[in-house]
């Protein structure tokens, strides 16, 4: 089995003194679908964003496909990021661009900056983007502006954009936190099926324990910036869940009321 990601001793101290990560070790193997759970403020977003250097960690290393990532080399960072898809809670689409263009943005990391600015995507990429959109049920929305879509549809565009990168790893930061239960379920199914069928490893931050248990091959529990659980969904006992969410028990089933 190929090790996709190896995080060692990751520490993040924000300016102002908050110690958001207190030395996290985490290994992700090929094809794993890992849910990161924990209450708000536990450090889940900081962990995910430190992995692809949207946040600069204070200490520790992140090795992607055996190579330690280093922000000093812009070229290497671009190459790493091209292979790591990111899915965001608020979708991060370009609202005034079409659905198709948003998905094609997934190819930018593989193009020259000039070709990217001019939108010179290959016919092959355009066809692949249309195929992907059709598969996620958005075949009729290809030419719509992104902001004409519902939240659940926008997130499926975000997923398609990540898949267009042909990534080895997807990082999904609370992908369903702004969605109603029905859309959440469609979005989670879409992420899961795409990752499993393409052999993409996935690290997904989730509040809801039941969603984590339904999809994850492994669950990582974060509390106060430290990893307090790392095991199979079956090994995550009720007692452990209550310990992770101690004082914030209402959050373990938290679900948005609508899009
Ligand atoms: N930019 C920042 N500057 C200072 N402190 C921050 C910053 N971002 C996050 N924090 C703090 O770091 C800690 C971890 O935050 P983080 O957002 O990683 O947690 P989380 O588990 O993702 O929570 P949530 O589910 O609410 O997003 C919190 O105490 C938070 O207030």
Query: Are 181 and 151 a contacting pair, CB within 8 Å?
Result: no
Could you read off the pLDDT of 78-87 as tens digits, one per residue?
889 999 999 9
Closest CA to 240 of 222, 216, 217, 225: 222
Whether residue 19 is contained in a domain is answered as: no
Q: How far is CA 92 from CA 34, 61, 68, 146, in A?
A: 22, 27, 27, 10
CA distance 18 to 194: 36
The count of domains in the chain is 1
Whether residue 157 is contained in a domain is answered as: yes
**If you measure from the C-alpha of residue 45 to the centroid of ligand 1, how many angstroms do you get, rounded to a whole number?**
7
Closest ligand 1 atom to 45 CA: 22
257 pLDDT more than 80: no
Check the CA dihedral 145-147-150-152 and report its sign: positive
255 pLDDT more than 70: no
Q: What CATH number does residue 163 fall under?
A: 3.40.50.300
Whether residue 3 is contained in a domain is answered as: no
Residue span of the structural domain in which 137 resides: 31-48+72-253
Whether residue 79 is contained in a domain is answered as: yes
Ligand 1 near 165 CB (within 6 A)? no
Ligand 1 near 43 CB (within 6 A)? yes
Give the mean pLDDT of the chain. Answer: 93
Whether residue 41 is contained in a domain is answered as: yes
- The helix or strand, by DSSP H or E, that contains position 7, with its residue range, turns out to be strand 3-13
Could you read off the pLDDT of 104-143 as tens digits, one per residue?
999 999 888 888 888 889 999 999 999 999 999 999 999 9
Q: Whose CA is nearest to atom 3 of ligand 1?
A: 14
Q: Report the complex ipTM.
A: 0.96
Whether residue 64 is contained in a domain is answered as: no
**If you measure from the C-alpha of residue 46 to the centroid of ligand 1, how many angstroms do you get, rounded to a whole number?**
6
The pLDDT value given to residue 258:
40
CA distance 186 to 181: 9
Residue 136 structure tokens: 């996620």
Whether residue 16 is contained in a domain is answered as: no
pTM beyond 0.90: yes
CA distance 215 to 233: 9
Query: Are 157 and 91 a contacting pair, CB within 8 Å?
Result: yes
Whether residue 146 is contained in a domain is answered as: yes
């Amino acid at each position: 089995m190929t090790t996709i990601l190896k995080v060692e001793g990751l520490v993040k101290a924000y300016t102002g003194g908050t110690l958001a990560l207190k030395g996290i070790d985490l290994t992700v193997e090929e094809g794993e679908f890992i849910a990161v759970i924990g209450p708000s403020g536990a450090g889940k977003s900081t962990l995910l964003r430190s992995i692809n250097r949207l946040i600069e960690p204070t200490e520790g290393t992140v090795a992607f496909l055996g190579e330690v990532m280093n922000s000093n080399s812009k070229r290497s960072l671009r190459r790493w990021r091209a292979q790591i898809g990111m899915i965001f809670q608020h979708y991060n689409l370009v609202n005034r661009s079409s659905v198709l263009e948003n998905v094609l943005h997934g190819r930018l990391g593989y193009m020259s900056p000039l070709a990217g600015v001019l939108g010179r995507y290959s016919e092959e990429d355009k066809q692949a983007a249309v195929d992907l959109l059709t598969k996620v049920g958005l075949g009729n929305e290809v030419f719509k502006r992104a902001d004409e879509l519902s939240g659940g549809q926008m997130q499926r565009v975000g997923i398609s954009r990540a898949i267009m990168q042909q990534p080895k790893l997807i990082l999904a930061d609370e992908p369903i936190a702004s969605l109603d239960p029905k859309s959440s379920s469609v979005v989670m199914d879409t992420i899961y099926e795409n990752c499993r069928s393409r052999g993409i490893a996935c690290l997904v931050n989730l509040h809801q324990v039941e969603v984590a248990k339904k999809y994850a091959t492994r669950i990582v529990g974060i509390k106060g910036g430290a990893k307090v659980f790392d095991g199979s969904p079956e090994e995550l006992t009720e007692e452990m869940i209550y310990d992770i969410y101690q004082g914030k028990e209402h959050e373990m089933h938290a679900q948005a009321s609508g899009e």
